[in-house]
Amino acid sequence: MVHVVIHQMLLFFFVSLIGFACFNHRIITNEALPHIARLMTKVLLPVMIFSVSYFGVTRAMMSQNFIVLPITAIFYFIASVSLYLTGTVMKLPKEHRGVFQLSFLFGNTGFVGAPLLAVLLPRMGGVVLVLFSLIDQALFWTYGVWLASIDKNRKPFSWSSLFNPNLIAIVLAMLFVNMNIRITGIVQEVLMILKNAVPAISMIYLGALFASSDWRSVFQRRELYFGILIKQVVLPIVIGRIMLWIGMSSDIISALMVLMALPTMTVVPMIVETYGGDGAYASGITTITLAFSIVTIPIVFAIVFL
């Protein structure tokens, strides 16, 4: 598994370099990036998430792996407390403290996690992704939005926020699996074509996003490296070793470690700006954690499994 992870992250890296080069040669422009992002978030990512959460997944697999839910909740609790204490000890300014916690708490399950799981664990990855995302999405659109808000007294949450394409795809996949609804023929083929397009397009987009971002000022901030160490290395390793010690399935451990070690969610800078925060600061963290994840995810797997 370690060698497969290293190989896949190298592939992602080289494909993202194509996106980086496309932006620098104006094949992809700043004006085009929002349109690519909308295509990904509104169409391609929901299709991929539905596909990996539905095809090859059974009701028995869902029920037998509900342990993922409490483990995910424990992970988010520990990560939230750790990041809060880090921000407090480092005396981050008020306008950055919540953004720092938000940026490192929620990983990029769409652009990085789902494509990686689809390759590494085409069957079990979908089950873990569904269960993990139920807590991940619920927390992001409640606690995450509160962290992004400069005015903490402002009403941070609307129920309509939960009705986003990714969560709808997860719920539909769960319904289809539990109701034993079968998708075959041309519909299945169309879904597979769209699903298989996601890894390349997402990495090209992220490479172009990195090229377009002003990440250099954030690169010099100490809290960045503490956040990467805590969220993308230490916590996945510690929880991974504990899961290994108690005898959990290596596939579940692998899928959870991928999801725990992910770089910052791509939508975080947009949410931060929407709620009055420092979007440039969040954008810098997003792009730098993406670059570091190419190294940190293989390191996590190597330490846990070797």
Say how far apart CA 124 and CA 114 lie, in whole Å: 12
Residues 156-211: tens digit of each pLDDT: 555 566 677 888 888 898 899 888 889 989 999 999 999 888 888 888 988 888 88
Say how far apart CA 230 and CA 138 lie, in whole Å: 22
Residue 107 pairs in a beta bridge with 264
Residues 216-274: tens digit of each pLDDT: 777 788 899 999 999 999 999 999 999 999 989 999 999 999 999 999 988 888 788 77
Q: What is the pLDDT of residue 211?
A: 86
CB 145 within 8 Å of CB 161:
yes
Say how far apart CA 288 and CA 100 lie, in whole Å: 13
Find the CATH number of the domain harbouring 235.
Answer: 1.20.1530.20
Residue 264 pairs in a beta bridge with 107
For residue 59, what are the domain limits? 2-305
Distances 105 to 35, 195, 232, 255, 285 between C-alpha atoms, Å: 26, 26, 10, 17, 12
Which residue in 211, 198, 227 sits closest to 289, CA to CA? Answer: 227
CB 126 within 8 Å of CB 177:
no
Residues 120-153: tens digit of each pLDDT: 888 788 889 889 988 988 888 888 888 887 665 5
Q: What is the pLDDT of residue 159?
A: 59
Dihedral angle sign, alpha carbons of residues 16, 19, 25, 30: negative
Average pLDDT over residues 19-36: 91
Q: What is the pLDDT of residue 220?
A: 81
Confidence at 83, pLDDT banded by 50, 70, 90: very high
Report the run of H or E that residue 30 belongs to, with start and end. Answer: none
Q: What are phi and psi of 107, to 5 degrees?
A: -90, 165
Confidence at 286, pLDDT banded by 50, 70, 90: confident
Sequence-distant (6+) residues with CB within 8 A of 72 are 131, 132, 135, 136, 256
Greatest extent of the chain over all pairs of C-alpha atoms, in Å? 58
Sequence-distant (6+) residues with CB within 8 A of 274 are 148
> Is the predicted pLDDT of residue 154 greater than 80, yes or no?
no
Total domain count, the chain: 1
